[in-house]
A and B are shown apart, each in its own frame.
Chain A
Amino acid sequence: MRRWNDYRGEVFNTTISEQEIERLLTGSPAGDGPHSDLAAFVEMMRAYESYLPPDHLVDRVSAEAATLALAGRATDVTGTKVSPPSRRRWPALSPRVAVAALSVVMAVGMTGVAAAADSAAPGDPLYGLDRALERIGIGSGSAGERLDEADQLLTEGQTMQALEHAAEAIDGDAASSAALDIAIDRFETAANQNSTAVQEKVAAILTYMSENIGPDRGVDGREFGQGIADIARGIAPPSETGDESPAHSPSPGMQNQPDGGEQPDSGNQGTRSGNSDPPGSRDNQGNENSGDGNPATGSNQGGGNADPHGQSGASGKGSGPPPEAPSGIAPGRGNRP
């Protein structure tokens, strides 16, 4: 058996099966075979685990943690930290959606249906419900989820649908939507829609969007649109389009976007603390806290999106919309006329 770093000088495939990925990521890497380059990478990453905290740090952290744990117990006993009133979880509930959601809830039970609908893809019967639940704030919802679905469509080779789905994700943000429309146009006129090059561009757009959308990202609406447009411009051969003016010119007021990246850390503490709660503690979706305590259960994926309604404007400064837009959709949407 060769050493782990013997991958250099080999020629590797551009494909890898799901089983091989699983074996690579979970098994002990083999130094040879068709994926010895990736095995070397896994072994390099594994080395990070070898960290051992120095004793003085263990002492300090455990002493502080013990104190904080007791303090938490005290407030829980006095009842000052009970869950927020349920009204907070049902903002602007339209009667139609309310009736639909309520009847399903009564039939199946909240957690089960939220979890099931949460994994419904476009085309699935549950998909409509998925969307309805999102609108009222159950499940992970919002733009991030749209993008994940777009990503899934793309991996299934449905490039056009993926783009359209992505456009839906940022519906409401003028600059970004316009930029994405360019992408769709280009895609439609592209010589070979299913060429690897085109798909790579679309993948790049989705990646860019998913990494820069929502309250956690430090990109404002204008930059965001620009970023999409920049990638989109590479999609089709601009045969007759020439120097078309980019549609990402900022709408008035967009420059005033407060930059999330500049928030002081103390502000983050306040707005973030909700995200660090045990998930079950604030989202009592009809079960007893225990299931939701596990972030892997799926009923409450995406700590950042799950409870946006209570924190909007928490760190509000400047004149623009709060950096944590309530629905977690594209930055800048509150700013348009």
Chain B
Amino acid sequence: MPLGPKFEATLIEAKDGAEWAWAALYRDLAGPVTGYLASRGARDAEDLASETFLQVARNIQRFEGDEAAFRSWVFVIAHRRLIDWRRSQGRRPSTVPITAHDGERWGGDVEVEALDHVVTVELQQAFEKLTDTQRDVLALRIIGHFTLEETAGVVGKRVGAVKAAQRRGLLALREHLDLKRVTQ
């Protein structure tokens, strides 16, 4: 839920060091940010998300812009954290299955329970076969609700490259699902 008209005032208060303002910003973005990190394989997505927010706080005085710009900026930092983390792992991380998470925190949405476990695993395995860029782009577009242009800004690529990555990613996903079905 975006803060909408309240964002401007919240940002001013956040710069002023008001805890309530930070709580509002964090509650608003923790879902998509943590979800993005978890979908991209971060085992400790919750920790990475809070580190992201602390980094945001360190630099907040120099941020100017509206809520959409803020969202993008937060994800730029989250994305950098993800790359650092990925590098520290030294291997290709797999998606953390949503079903592996604490039911209380991830089950706020009834949809989660409706997910067929077998199908979810199948989809996630197919997703893991995509390239990092394809996965980054698809996760940002779906979980972060970013436009093509915003996504390009977050991952630091051109719009054309993002477009190509999402198309290739979706088609590769379909191919993996198909293969899986044939071999079963």
Q: Does A25 lie within 8 Å of B166, measured CB to CB?
A: yes
Most interface-central of A62, A71, A273 (chain B CB within 10 A): A62
- Indicate if the CB atoms of B34 and A53 lie closer than 8 Å: yes
- Cβ of A336 under 8 Å from chain B: no
- Tell me, yes or no, whether B62 is within 8 Å of chain A by CB: yes
Chain B residue at smallest Cβ distance from A17: B167
Interface-located stretch among A167-175, A245-253, A292-300: A292-300
When A and B form their complex, what is the total count of cross-chain residue pairs whose Cβ atoms lie within 8 Å? Answer: 294
Query: Given contacts A148-B160, A304-B156, are A296 and B168 in contact (CB under 8 A)?
Result: no
Cβ-defined contact, B112 with A50, below 8 A: yes
B111 near A46 with CB under 8 A, answer yes
- The answer to whether B161 and A148 touch across the interface, beta carbons within 8 angstroms, is yes
- Chain B contributes a number of interface residues (CB within 8 A of A) equal to 100
Q: Which residues of B contact A276 (CB under 8 A)?
A: 55, 58-59, 76-77, 80
Q: Which residue of the partner chain B has the closest CB to A216?
A: B83
Q: B143 to chain A: which residues have CB within 8 Å? A: 45-46, 48-49
Is B141 an interface position by the 8 A CB rule?
A: yes
A48–B39 CB distance below 8 A: yes
Do A61 and B22 touch (CB < 8 A)? Answer: yes
CB of A58 within 8 A of CB of B23, answer yes
Any B CB within 8 A of the CB of A107:
no
- Please, how many angstroms separate the alpha-carbon atoms of A76 and B62 in the complex? 9
For the complex formed, measure the closest distance between the CB of A198 and the CB atoms of chain B, giving whole angstroms: 16
* B138 and A45 form a contact (CB under 8 A): yes
Chain A interfacial residues counted at CB < 8 A: 93
Q: Tell me which residues across on chain A come within 8 A of B36, comparing CB atoms.
A: 48
30 contacts between A and B (CB under 8 A): A25-B138, A37-B174, A44-B115, A44-B123, A44-B124, A45-B143, A46-B143, A47-B109, A48-B139, A49-B35, A52-B31, A53-B30, A63-B22, A64-B54, A65-B57, A66-B19, A67-B57, A68-B57, A69-B57, A70-B16, A73-B16, A148-B161, A203-B168, A211-B133, A272-B84, A275-B76, A293-B64, A294-B68, A301-B153, A301-B156
Q: Which residues of A contact B (CB under 8 A)?
A: 5, 7-9, 12, 14, 16, 18, 21, 24-26, 37-38, 40-54, 57-73, 76, 119, 121, 140, 144-145, 148-149, 151-152, 154-155, 203, 207, 210-211, 216-218, 260-263, 265, 268, 272-273, 275-281, 289-290, 293-298, 301-305
